[in-house]
């Protein structure tokens, strides 16, 4: 159960020394930073180059040689969803106390990562790596349809409410983090409800602090 009063060992996460997102807060340390800010936990950041990600020292923490990782005393985690889940369980602020509401918030965490994110990532990858293929426009149409299917459903869910299930939770944090990947795609234009939902998340002071911190790293490196 969450316990904001419990002693926490110093927390260190990893992030890109020079993020390819150019400070837009789209790399996956952003959600972890945001979660830590929401629960008021200070943390340190170890910055890594792409080369360092693949070195044995980092692979001992992250088998796939990626960011982010999370270290807290003897505990080392990778996978941003698992890290955010750990933070949400360990501290008050991201999961409701009521058992049913808590289970539903966790449900939305999984929905963000397993149902909404995959078509968004597939479309992103198609735009990055398949533009020169003769079948690109046909495939893009199919991927756009898949993304729209998820956005339609989410938009309906959020039509009359601020957050996915009652108060803001780790489910909203992950969902907004996923939807932010679409902000330059043009696909959100037809979804004012979702744009407003993203804006509500981005207006949160915890988001603002997390965003400013990752941007400062990018600006220092430039
Ligand atoms: N499932 C893992 C998680 O959620 O933690 C995925 C981790 C992951 O994809 N990490 C990426 C990474 O380390 C960075 S965030 N990549 C280096 C590698 O694999 O060698 C993904 C990302 C990168 C860049 C942008 N961007 O430029 O907009 C957005 C997202």
Query: For the segment 45-81, what is each residue's pLDDT rounded down to a tens digit?
Result: 999 999 999 999 999 999 999 999 999 999 999 999 9
Handedness of CA 95, 191, 180, 201 (dihedral sign): negative
pLDDT at 1 over 50: no
Going by C-alpha positions, the residue among 14, 80, 11, 12 that lies closest to residue 47 is 14
pLDDT at 39 over 80: yes
User: For strand 44-48 and strand 75-78, is the pairing parallel, antiparallel, or unpaired?
Assistant: unpaired
Question: In DSSP terms, which residues pair with 12 in a beta bridge?
Answer: 44, 71
pLDDT at 7 over 80: no
Give the count of beta carbons closer than 10 Å to the beta carbon of residue 95.
25
Q: Across residues 151-171, what is the average pLDDT?
A: 98
Nearest CA to ligand 1 atom 16: 66
Measured in Å, residue 27 CA sits from the centre of ligand 1 at 6
Residue 2 confidence (pLDDT): 39
Helix axis angle, 170-179 to 80-90, nearest 10°: 150
Residue among 65, 66, 180 to mutate when testing ligand 1 (max atoms within 8 A of CB):
66
Measured in Å, residue 78 CA sits from the centre of ligand 1 at 12
Average pLDDT value over all residues in the chain? 96
Q: How far apart are CA 132 and CA 109, in angstroms?
A: 35
Has this prediction a pTM greater than 0.85? Answer: yes
Q: What is the DSSP letter of 138?
A: H
Q: How far apart are CA 87 and CA 98, in angstroms?
A: 17
Enumerate residues lining ligand 1, CB below 6 A. 20-21, 26-28, 53, 65-68, 79-81
Domains and CATH numbers, the chain: 2-93 (3.40.30.10), 99-205 (1.20.1050.10)
Q: Which atom of ligand 1 is nearest to the CA of 68?
A: 5
End-to-end CA distance of the chain: 42
Please answer whether residues 189 and 151 qualify as being in contact, where contact means their C-beta atoms are separated by less than 8 angstroms: no
Residue 6 confidence (pLDDT): 57
Query: Hey, what are 166's tokens?
Result: 């009652």
Please give the share of the chain, as a percent, with pLDDT higher than 90: 95
Q: How far apart are CA 149 and CA 130, in angstroms?
A: 22
Nearest CA to ligand 1 atom 2: 79
Q: Which residues contact 186 (CB under 8 A, 6 or more apart)?
A: none
Nearest CA to ligand 1 atom 18: 66
């Amino acid at each position: 159960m969450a316990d904001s009063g419990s002693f926490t060992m110093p927390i260190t996460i990893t992030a890109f020394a020079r993020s390819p997102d150019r400070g837009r807060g789209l790399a996956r340390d952003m959600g972890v930073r945001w979660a830590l800010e929401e629960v008021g936990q200070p943390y340190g950041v170890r910055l890594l180059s792409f080369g360092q990600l693949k070195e044995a020292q980092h692979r001992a923490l992250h088998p796939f040689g990626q960011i982010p990782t999370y270290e807290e005393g003897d505990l080392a985690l990778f996978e941003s969803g698992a890290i955010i889940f750990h933070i949400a369980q360990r501290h008050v602020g991201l999961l409701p106390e009521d058992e049913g509401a808590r289970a539903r918030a966790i449900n939305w965490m999984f929905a963000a990562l397993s149902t909404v994110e995959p078509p968004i990532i597939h479309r992103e990858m198609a735009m990055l790596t398949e533009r020169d293929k003769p079948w690109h426009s046909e495939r893009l149409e199919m991927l756009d349809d898949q993304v729209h299917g998820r956005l339609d459903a989410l938009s309906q869910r959020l039509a009359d409410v601020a957050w996915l299930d009652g108060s803001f939770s780790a489910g909203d944090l992950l969902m907004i983090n996923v939807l932010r990947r679409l902000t330059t795609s043009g696909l959100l234009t037809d979804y004012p409800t979702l744009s407003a939902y993203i804006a509500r998340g981005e207006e949160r002071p915890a988001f603002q602090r997390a965003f400013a911190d990752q941007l400062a790293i990018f600006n220092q490196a430039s």
